[in-house]
Structure 1
Amino acid sequence: MTIHQRAGQVAIQQDLINIPKLMSCYYRISPDMQREEQRVSFGTSGHRGCAFNANFNEQHILAITQAVVDYRQGAGITGPLYLGIDTHALSQAAYVTALEVLVGNQVKVIVHQGDGFTPTPVVSHAILIANRQLAEKSDGLIITPSHNPPQDGGIKYNPPHGGPAEGEITKWIEQRANDYLEDRLNKVVTEQYSAAINSAYVQQADLISPYVNDLESVVDMKAIAEAGVRLGVDPLGGSGIYYWDKIATRYGLNIELVNESVDPRFGFMPLDKDGKIRMDCSSPYAMAGLLKHQDKFDLCIGNDPDYDRHGIVCPGSGLMNPNHFLAVAIDYLLTHRPQWSEKLVIGKTLVSSSMIDKVCSQHQRAMCEVPVGFKWFVDGLFNASFAFGGEESAGAAFLRRDGKTWCTDKDGFILALLAAEILAVTGQTPAQRYSELEAVHGTCFYKRVDSPVSPEKKAKFAEIIAAEVDAERLGTDKLAGEIIETMMTKAPGNGAAIGGIKVVTEHGWFAARPSGTEALFKIYGESFIGESHLEQLITEAQSIITHMLKA
């Protein structure tokens, strides 16, 4: 993908969305159920879309929320539902719509007091704490499109285990919601918002304090405080912006917010590599504002709008590659959590760096390689058999210091604070720690390339990988000059379909899959030889995919 000429530069007026127009489209445009792209579709992180494109409108949220209510009833879930929300413009509108349906169906709902923002990991943590204390099981909905552009909206469901819903659950909700839409929302029950928010079914609670007060059970906050680590924080206008002051006060940390803006247009954001406003804390272009401060602090950290991702900036080194930090985090945790059992498993997605494999092998720890999507780590984190679960897209979570469950969804707070703990305890930044890993294991050269893709090509690719994939289908038995050793469409860790293909040689690999949430085709590649080998590998991977789609 060609880098946009203004990538990394702060957005200007022409880049900003028209909020009144967006809101009008949310309430006035109806989806055309004959068009696949306007139907409810749950990807790896819930349903996402845009009101301008008629795939995230009031009718979608009415249908999805009623479907969730129906699922709860069928599953016997009778406890309160935690309703989270981020700072996207459509999130506020969808929050109101969802609350109207939940109360209309007499579902008990817990929201943060004063209609405040609630990050994804806080909802997960709250669900788990509640379910340890109450006989009635709780679950949650989070209104967020994560790091997507300002015009987008999203909604995702977390059942009583606290993490992202399994595929069979989301498929059921998706189908039920589309049935409601096709039936013109007949039997969707609502209560007017003004009555709903003041009803006995809605409990406004302080959701910040319980989460903040519990952080010391998962991260060594005392070590960070005693070392005096100076942290620069850019919330990227996200839902965790009001947590940092409370964290600093509670634990005596030296934290400075370098950006305190909350703006549904995200007009303060530098443009991402493609010229779009995207709050991607793993992108050096989107994080350009924070990178300007990297030499003023011992560490700088950023998070996406719903706080399930993290970005780590080290002085003199810039923004860490997410794969590099995952490897460092795993290496550190395996040597600094004495209460963790040696039988605990490390979870990684199959498109994450092989440096993680090398670290796990070094420490003689079992590793489980799964498809893309954090839902594959939920069971392991819930029953505390997985010490860590991480995605290459800068999302991860891990167990408490005593080896018990913390949360079952990605938690950007604890990964950011872990970076500070690593510096406080070892005296080295995470970037310095990664250099030491390279000295032991060699250098891994990793890259991801995104390209636009049509719904038709997505569908064709899905048909191809559902069948047997062999050298004839690929059009070659070699990749970047090496014999292909393995071709997989299922993850080795759990045998689940990966929604794409991974091709492995002795000194490299590539994986290809359509995005579950955007109209993009993603190709990941890694070489254990060098940059030129990586470029050759990516180029040939693109040719292989083109051949497959033409065949």
Structure 2
Amino acid sequence: MDAISFGTDGWRATLDVFTSERVRVVAQATADYLDSEGHGGETVAVGYDARETSRGFADDVADVLATNGFDVVLPERDCPTPVISHAVAERDFAGALVITASHNPPEYNGVKFLPEDGAPALPEVTEAIEANLREPEEGEQTGEIREEDLVADHADHCRSLVDADLEGLTVVYDAMHGSGRGVTDALLEAAGADVIRLRCERDPEFGGTSPEPDEANLQGLAMAVNEHDADLGVANDGDADRVAAVTPDRGVLDGNRFYALAYDYLLEGDSGPAVRTVSTTFLVDRLADAHGCEVVETPVGFKWVAEAMGEHDALFGGEESGGYTMRGHVRQKDGVLMALLASAAASERGVDDRLDAIAAEHGEIHQDKVSVDCPDDRKAGVLADLEAELPDTVAGVDVAEVNDTDGFKILLEDGTWLLVRPSGTEPKMRVYAEADSPERVRNLLDAGRGLVEPLV
């Protein structure tokens, strides 16, 4: 049980550690938690991704929950995590457990718990589950286990939120062999788009790479967009809760530009606050300010975005790593819905044209990040040492303010910034920088690395 530790988004580990026995322990702890919250005997969804081992682990979870008296609903096949989230919220389930390692390599698997509202579990919930890890109950199953189609209701809801006619739009969709295949592409096609499919066959090995929709892994999508003279390319990660976009001129968009694209499009017909993490671009603030809207800043982690969206009735929320959601939807990042939203924006105005107009009005913004190896047990010490040695200038510019929402975000007099924070998933410190040119970003990152490395 000591090997089980819930991080930013559940427990993930390599398959030598992530075993059936330990998954059953997590399922029992979750059953105990749900009982303690008054949900005994209710229905729990159990989702799973496209990995070779995921259905087997899902069956383990379902068995333990049913033995504890819960009814269990499984999807008919591996499906996106946001589909499970929507089902939980829409059908008043007690919660869900999802077997997924998201964008991690195929040698990993993981499990995450979703409470009754379908949003990410907050730390007090995962801590309560982790504190009660124990061997599972033995005996007969008193709950019912059944399979159902959960995709159709989610698709209908997405179409009700983004009521777009995509006739005449050509979209290349890259499922990266993950759970978005047959879901995101089908949604776009149902809305009228001409969809060209890449990596839409199930491959538990994800073609030998991680199902991470970053620039390095999406070069094939970028080439396909140009080859087919497509209007847009979209991709999902392994469990399709994240999205990435590719345009004809810019290639793979970073998550900050995707946020700006989506929020700008929504502001054309609606109004409301934006929620962003501390690592996400100030371009969001410029867009919001131009429309008289508020921006709410949160620590990194979609659970904090989700919480703030509920508190502020936000129009849009997300983080630069590719997770977003919108008003009216379950407060969970949803790469399927976001692929539809990006396509709707492209159908009204070319994405490159829209981004050009945003840059012309609000200025160019560039961002990048680097990682510095740091053992988990040194992260708190590095932050403490950094706090004691925060500089007065960075890369030749005076410090205007320091924000400690998550790590230390050093705001400079010229409007640029540097952020140092611990990774919630890896033994690393993250260093982010934002400025008006790539060269300035590189200088800031070099300065940030120089601050952190001597402290590790």
Q: TM-score, normalised by structure 2?
A: 0.93
Indicate the larger mover: 532-541 or 364-373: 532-541
Alpha-carbon shift at residue 49 of structure 1 (Å): 0.8
Q: 359, 363, 367: which is aligned to 1:442?
A: 363
Tell me if the contact between 1:236 and 1:305 (Cα under 8 Å) persists in the aligned partners: yes
Cα gap change, 1:232/1:163 in structure 2, threshold over 3 Å: closer, same or farther?
same
For 2:403, the equivalent position in structure 1 comes to 488
Tell me if the contact between 2:70 and 2:143 (Cα under 8 Å) persists in the aligned partners: no
For 2:306, the equivalent position in structure 1 comes to 378
Instruction: Output the amino acid matched with 1:130.
Output: R
Separation in 2 of the partners of 1:152 and 1:451?
Answer: 22
Superposed CA deviations along residues 449-494 of structure 1, whole A, max 9, x for unmatched, are 134332xxx22222454x5964x423x321111122222322xxxx
Matches within 5 A, 1:48-63: 48-52=12-16, 54=17, 56-63=18-25
Separation in 1 of the partners of 2:386 and 2:205?
Answer: 44
Tell me if the contact between 1:213 and 1:250 (Cα under 8 Å) persists in the aligned partners: no
1:210 correspondence with 2:118: no
For 1:279, the equivalent position in structure 2 comes to 211
Tell me if the contact between 1:161 and 1:382 (Cα under 8 Å) persists in the aligned partners: no
Alpha-carbon shift at residue 534 of structure 1 (Å): 1.5
Separation in 2 of the partners of 1:381 and 1:218?
Answer: 16
Separation in 1 of the partners of 2:386 and 2:426?
Answer: 25
1:422 correspondence with 2:345: yes
Separation in 2 of the partners of 1:128 and 1:70?
Answer: 21
* Unaligned residue ranges in structure 2 (runs of 5+): none
Tell me if the contact between 2:379 and 2:429 (Cα under 8 Å) persists in the aligned partners: no
Instruction: Output the amino acid matched with 1:265.
Output: E
Separation in 2 of the partners of 1:206 and 1:451?
Answer: 44
Alpha-carbon shift at residue 230 of structure 1 (Å): 1.2
For 1:10, the equivalent position in structure 2 comes to none
Separation in 2 of the partners of 1:307 and 1:294?
Answer: 20
1:300 correspondence with 2:233: yes
Separation in 2 of the partners of 1:210 and 1:388?
Answer: 22
Separation in 2 of the partners of 1:384 and 1:532?
Answer: 36
Matches within 5 A, 1:41-52: 41-52=5-16
Alpha-carbon shift at residue 104 of structure 1 (Å): 1.7
Tell me if the contact between 2:298 and 2:308 (Cα under 8 Å) persists in the aligned partners: no
Alpha-carbon shift at residue 246 of structure 1 (Å): 4.0
For 1:236, the equivalent position in structure 2 comes to 176
Q: 249, 254, 257: which is aligned to 1:321?
A: 254
Tell me if the contact between 1:67 and 1:173 (Cα under 8 Å) persists in the aligned partners: yes
Matches within 5 A, 1:9-408: 33=2, 39-52=3-16, 54=17, 56-78=18-40, 79-113=42-76, 116-131=77-92, 137-177=93-133, 180=134, 185=135, 188-190=136-138, 201-221=144-164, 223-225=165-167, 228-244=168-184, 246-247=186-187, 250-267=190-207, 277-281=209-213, 283-295=214-226, 296=228, 297-337=230-270, 342=271, 344-382=272-310, 385-399=313-327, 405-408=328-331
Alpha-carbon shift at residue 380 of structure 1 (Å): 4.3
Separation in 2 of the partners of 1:488 and 1:249?
Answer: 44
Tell me if the contact between 1:381 and 1:407 (Cα under 8 Å) persists in the aligned partners: no
Alpha-carbon shift at residue 243 of structure 1 (Å): 1.6
1:409 correspondence with 2:324: no
Tell me if the contact between 1:120 and 1:409 (Cα under 8 Å) persists in the aligned partners: no
Tell me if the contact between 2:178 and 2:206 (Cα under 8 Å) persists in the aligned partners: no
* Unaligned residue ranges in structure 1 (runs of 5+): 1-30, 34-38, 132-136, 270-276, 400-404, 491-497
User: How much is the aligned-residue C-alpha RMSD, in angstroms?
Assistant: 2.1
Separation in 1 of the partners of 2:358 and 2:99?
Answer: 38
Instruction: Output the amino acid matched with 2:206.
Output: F
Instruction: Output the amino acid matched with 2:103.
Output: H
Alpha-carbon shift at residue 173 of structure 1 (Å): 1.4
Superposed CA deviations along residues 369-422 of structure 1, whole A, max 9, x for unmatched, are 0001111122344467121111110110002xxxxx211110001111111111
Cα gap change, 1:348/1:190 in structure 2, threshold over 3 Å: closer, same or farther?
farther
> SS at the partner of 1:308?
coil
Separation in 1 of the partners of 2:55 and 2:115?
Answer: 22
For 1:512, the equivalent position in structure 2 comes to 420
Q: TM-score, normalised by structure 1?
A: 0.78
> How many residues in Structure 1 have an aligned counterpart in Structure 2?
452
Tell me if the contact between 1:382 and 1:407 (Cα under 8 Å) persists in the aligned partners: no
Tell me if the contact between 2:177 and 2:202 (Cα under 8 Å) persists in the aligned partners: yes
> SS at the partner of 2:36?
helix
For 2:429, the equivalent position in structure 1 comes to 521
Instruction: Output the amino acid matched with 2:219.
Output: A
Separation in 1 of the partners of 2:433 and 2:153?
Answer: 41
> SS at the partner of 1:89?
coil
Separation in 2 of the partners of 1:41 and 1:215?
Answer: 34
Counting aligned pairs with the same residue, the percent is 28
Separation in 2 of the partners of 1:90 and 1:521?
Answer: 31
Separation in 2 of the partners of 1:381 and 1:141?
Answer: 23
Separation in 2 of the partners of 1:162 and 1:480?
Answer: 43
Instruction: Output the amino acid matched with 1:418.
Output: L
Superposed CA deviations along residues 25-62 of structure 1, whole A, max 9, x for unmatched, are xxxxxx7x3xxxxx22222211111023x2x2223212
Runs of 4+ in structure 1 over 6 Å off: none
Cα gap change, 1:513/1:89 in structure 2, threshold over 3 Å: closer, same or farther?
farther
Tell me if the contact between 1:102 and 1:190 (Cα under 8 Å) persists in the aligned partners: no
Separation in 2 of the partners of 1:332 and 1:242?
Answer: 26
Superposed CA deviations along residues 495-516 of structure 1, whole A, max 9, x for unmatched, are xxx2x22211123111122322
Separation in 1 of the partners of 2:265 and 2:418?
Answer: 27
Instruction: Output the amino acid matched with 1:88.
Output: R
Instruction: Output the amino acid matched with 2:453.
Output: T
Separation in 2 of the partners of 1:174 and 1:310?
Answer: 30
Separation in 2 of the partners of 1:376 and 1:397?
Answer: 13
